Amino acid sequence: MAPHVVAATSPLAHPFEFNDYFSKSFPVVRKTNAAKQVRKSQEQTLPSKPVTLSPARKVHHPKAEEQWHTKTAIAFDIDGVLLRGGHVLPEGKRALRMLNGENPKKKKVPHVFITNGGGVTEDKRAADLSKKFGVNILPSQIVQSHTPMKSLVDKYKDQLVLVVGGEGLACREVAKEYGFTKVAVPDDIAHWNSTVWPFRKLHPDYIKEKDSAETEAIAYDFMTEPIAAVLVFHDSRDWGFDMQIIIDVLTSRGGYIGTAQEGDIKQAVPLYFSNPDVIWSTDFPIPRYGQGALRIATGALFKHTTGKDMEYTLFGKPYSTTYAWAETTLENYAKAQGVTLPPREERKVYAIGDNPASDIKGALAQDRWEPILVKTGIAKENDPEYPAPYVMNHVEDAIKFILDKELD
């Protein structure tokens, strides 16, 4: 399925992303299950007289399928649902334990994590989440904003791509792991010619790499080797610098840094963004600007410079490419556990998120996906434009509701 391609008609091409979720007050849709399950225990006493033991029964070891409930799956957002500002929400810990069999039915439920965050490999993300939540989370359960960008590898595998965003050189590592063989980051360009952005100080990780024997720094002469595409993998750490470099590439002659078109400027190379979210939740009491805001600002500068709309391709939630990737991820994860899921048309996926414009909108557009909005992140009430059928206080309430409703 092709990613979502946009030719922005204005810097505010997606006005819904500016919804002020904190100032709204809308009716909350709630569905609850009051039934409680009571567990009874029986006390056994030892017989006072010798007894004759009967032949031992054959112990039944359940097959993998018998330990799992496979008709239902869960897709978690991370920030604002399980974490807030990098800190673990205690309800998230309890929710994940329930899905790993700590529930009245002793059933495991397939689950994956779909986040518009990124900036590290799926291996590192899984290891970090496992440590924080005290459960085993596998890389095969992780879909980050840039994970579907693996689909671009065949197109650009042997061409030079510029990867933007993230901390230090982490996104170069991600792109190389995906299979891109020639990866530059903005600091490569600043090191190649420091006057490209005189205010830039190279990241300490970059200096360490540059001074090592295995350095990739200054591996490219950007006047002789063109950039074939710009891939924004994660949030920018230096907006001014990154926007300057992106627009330099887009307005260059054929992707050669340091050249500029004259007259009727045409966008020189394709541009990809992994995350459309304008805002995201942290420990700060109101949302912060994210990669989507960088896109809007860059588009405004591009139009000011060229008189034309910037063209770009979007990945991440709410776009269908990410959900198709998530379906495949679920199936591969279950298969690795020795479990075969029912056909897609016979199973339901609950998507738990905090952002109506991405988590809820995206899930509403998918067949057999049901979104649940939790109030621990961006939205505090249901949204009239993208209303979730269920609204819960937090993720633990959401998982209890799902298990009560779906477990056999």
Q: pLDDT per residue over 300-352, tens digit each?
A: 999 999 999 999 999 999 999 999 999 999 999 999 999 999 999 999 999 99
User: In the structure, what pLDDT confidence band is assigned to residue 371 with cuts at 50, 70 and 90?
Assistant: very high
- Please check whether residues 303 and 187 belong to one and the same domain: yes
Structure confidence at residue 283 (pLDDT): 86
Q: Decide if 122 is inside a domain.
A: yes
Q: Are β-strands 229-232 and 271-273 bridged in parallel, bridged antiparallel, or unpaired?
A: parallel
User: In the structure, what pLDDT confidence band is assigned to residue 216 with cuts at 50, 70 and 90?
Assistant: low
User: In the structure, what pLDDT confidence band is assigned to residue 279 with cuts at 50, 70 and 90?
Assistant: very high
Q: Decide if 288 is inside a domain.
A: yes
Tell which phi-psi region holds residue 134, choosing left (phi > 0), alpha (psi between -120 and 50) or beta: left
Residue 294: helix, strand or coil by DSSP?
helix
Q: At what angle do helices 395-406 and 90-99 cross, to 10 degrees?
A: 20
Q: Decide if 233 is inside a domain.
A: yes
Average pLDDT over residues 148-166: 97
Q: Decide if 228 is inside a domain.
A: yes
User: In the structure, what pLDDT confidence band is assigned to residue 379 with cuts at 50, 70 and 90?
Assistant: very high
Written as one letter, the residue type at 208 is: K
- Please check whether residues 235 and 361 belong to one and the same domain: no
DSSP assignment, residue 317?
T
Structural domain containing residue 193: 147-314
Tokens of 37: 């399950």
- Please check whether residues 232 and 348 belong to one and the same domain: no
Residue 25 in this model has a pLDDT that exceeds 90:
no
Q: Decide if 206 is inside a domain.
A: yes
Structure confidence at residue 344 (pLDDT): 94
Is the entire prediction scored with pTM above 0.85?
no
Computed on alpha carbons and rounded to an integer, the radius of gyration of the chain in Å comes to: 25
Distance CA 248, CA 256 (A): 9
Task: Give the residue from 314, 330, 345 where a domain finishes.
Answer: 314
Number of domains in the chain: 2
Distance CA 200, CA 226 (A): 22
Distance CA 125, CA 114 (A): 12
Q: Decide if 338 is inside a domain.
A: yes
Provide the percentage of residues in the chain whose pLDDT is more than 70.
81
DSSP assignment, residue 150?
G
Q: Which residues contact 273 (CB under 8 A, 6 or more apart)?
A: 232, 291, 292, 295, 312, 313, 314, 315, 316
Length of the chain: 408
Q: Decide if 52 is inside a domain.
A: no
Nearest Cα neighbor of 164 from 23, 78, 16, 275 is 275
Q: CATH number of the domain that 139 lies in?
A: 3.40.50.1000
Please report, for residues 135, 208, 350, the alpha-carbon distance to residue 93 in angstroms, rounded to integers and kept in the order given. 8, 37, 18
Output 392-395 pairs: Cβ under 8 A, ≥24 positions apart: 392/30, 394/89, 394/91, 395/76, 395/81, 395/82, 395/89, 395/91, 395/92, 395/95, 395/352
Q: Torsion over CA of 186, 192, 194 and 197, rounded to 10 degrees?
A: -30
Tell which phi-psi region holds residue 30, choosing left (phi > 0), alpha (psi between -120 and 50) or beta: beta
Task: Give the residue from 282, 314, 346 where a domain finishes.
Answer: 314
Distance CA 331, CA 95 (A): 21
Task: Give the residue from 287, 314, 341 where a domain finishes.
Answer: 314
Query: DSSP string covering 74-96, please?
Result: EEE--BTTTEETTEEPHHHHHHH
In the block, which residue shows the tokens 């790499």?
209
pLDDT in tens, 233-257: 999 999 999 999 999 999 999 999 9
Q: Which residues contact 263 (CB under 8 A, 6 or more apart)?
A: none
Structure confidence at residue 207 (pLDDT): 67
- Please check whether residues 330 and 395 belong to one and the same domain: yes
- Please check whether residues 198 and 291 belong to one and the same domain: yes
Nearest Cα neighbor of 76 from 357, 353, 390 is 353
- Please check whether residues 140 and 155 belong to one and the same domain: no
Average pLDDT over residues 70-96: 96
Q: Are β-strands 111-114 and 72-76 bridged in parallel, bridged antiparallel, or unpaired?
A: parallel
- Please check whether residues 363 and 398 belong to one and the same domain: yes
Distance CA 241, CA 247 (A): 10
- Please check whether residues 209 and 271 belong to one and the same domain: yes
- Please check whether residues 120 and 231 belong to one and the same domain: no
User: In the structure, what pLDDT confidence band is assigned to residue 202 with cuts at 50, 70 and 90?
Assistant: confident
212 or 9, higher pLDDT: 212
User: In the structure, what pLDDT confidence band is assigned to residue 4 with cuts at 50, 70 and 90?
Assistant: low
- Please check whether residues 100 and 226 belong to one and the same domain: no
- Please check whether residues 291 and 163 belong to one and the same domain: yes
Written as one letter, the residue type at 209 is: E
Please report, for residues 103, 267, 353, 406, the alpha-carbon distance to residue 152 in angstroms, rounded to integers and kept in the order given. 41, 19, 27, 38
- Please check whether residues 308 and 184 belong to one and the same domain: yes
Q: Decide if 353 is inside a domain.
A: yes
